[in-house]
């Protein structure tokens, strides 16, 4: 029993997510029980407003859960200090308020902050980790560029490299494929798949790219009707969980090809 727990990076226990505004609790989804193991790539899918971002924000500790508990490597998320949590979870967000005056390498280097001294000076070990992260996402050729010179796809890779440099057992990405063309969407998700296998990190991301996620992910978490279902793509297809994800008059799920089709 114990061995099983220690092999789990993320585990939620009867988690309810949502947000509080003054005294009104707005419940987005409840009774969420997910388990993610090292090396797994997990997609969170659901229609707009279903609560994908809320789930990811709760898992990363930005938003407090309404009820239940999140465990990261056996640590209670609600009882973990930010500086300890920074060594467990790294984030890739859609927030566009990042200073584009940073060079690629400077931005990736910020991922080392949980490990650096009071003024943030980088040791040889830090530099090695930074270079390693840059190599893993294959951005050596742009490492000295400023972020304002990059395309959206390149910038996304830089953000992923920064998360890798943070050396955490889990990476959480909020819609990493928005603003990207089809090729780059596939490229980023394929990169995430490779990274989860190479580094044995648990990688969890929210996405609207269901067809790609079905092909690439080890597990999916579907948020629908205030509930979260999780399982392997095959399991979910088998149990017809995908069939009523969207209003059926326009899009339906085609079991033969395991993809969504327009009617």
Chain residues in the site for other proteins (CB under 8 A) = 60, 62, 82-87, 89-91, 93, 95, 97-103, 105-107, 109-111, 113-114, 116, 118-122, 127, 146, 148, 166
Least distance in angstroms from the C-beta of 155 to other proteins: 12
Least distance in angstroms from the C-beta of 179 to other proteins: 17
What sign does the dihedral 86-91-96-101 (CA atoms) show? positive
Where does 102-257 have alpha helices with state H?
A: 104-109, 124-136, 152-165, 182-199, 210-216, 233-238
Least distance in angstroms from the C-beta of 210 to other proteins: 26
3-class DSSP state of 221: strand
Neighbours of 105 (CB within 10 A): 19
Is residue 249 within 8 A of residue 263, CB to CB? The reply is yes
> What are the two backbone dihedrals, phi and then psi, of residue 25, each rounded to the nearest 5 degrees?
-95, 125
Cα 61 to Cα 104: distance, rounded to the nearest angstrom: 27
Continuous segment of H or E residues that includes residue 68: strand 67-72
């Amino acid at each position: 029993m114990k061995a099983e727990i220690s092999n789990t990076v993320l585990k939620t226990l009867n988690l309810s997510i949502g947000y509080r505004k003054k005294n009104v609790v707005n419940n987005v989804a409840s009774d969420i029980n997910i388990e993610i193991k090292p090396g797994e790539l997990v997609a969170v899918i659901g229609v707009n407003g279903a609560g994908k971002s809320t789930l990811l924000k709760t898992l990363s500790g930005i938003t407090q859960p309404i009820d239940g508990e999140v465990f990261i490597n056996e640590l209670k998320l609600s009882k973990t200090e930010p500086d300890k949590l920074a060594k467990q979870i790294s984030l890739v967000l859609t927030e566009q308020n990042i200073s584009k005056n940073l060079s690629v390498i400077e931005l990736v280097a910020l991922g080392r902050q949980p490990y650096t001294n009071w003024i943030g000076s980088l040791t040889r070990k830090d530099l090695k980790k930074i270079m390693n992260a840059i190599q893993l996402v294959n951005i050596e050729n742009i490492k000295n560029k400023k972020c304002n010179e990059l395309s959206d796809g390149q910038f996304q890779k830089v953000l992923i490299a920064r998360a890798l440099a943070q050396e955490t057992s889990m990476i959480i990405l909020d819609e990493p494929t928005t603003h990207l063309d089809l090729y780059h969407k596939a490229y980023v998700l394929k990169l995430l798949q490779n990274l989860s296998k190479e580094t044995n990190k648990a990688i969890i991301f929210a996405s609207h790219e269901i067809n790609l996620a079905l092909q690439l992910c080890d597990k999916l978490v579907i948020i629908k009707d205030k509930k979260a279902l999780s399982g392997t793509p095959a399991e979910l297809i088998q149990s017809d969980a995908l069939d009523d994800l969207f209003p059926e008059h326009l899009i339906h799920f085609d079991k033969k090809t395991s993809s969504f089709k327009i009617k």
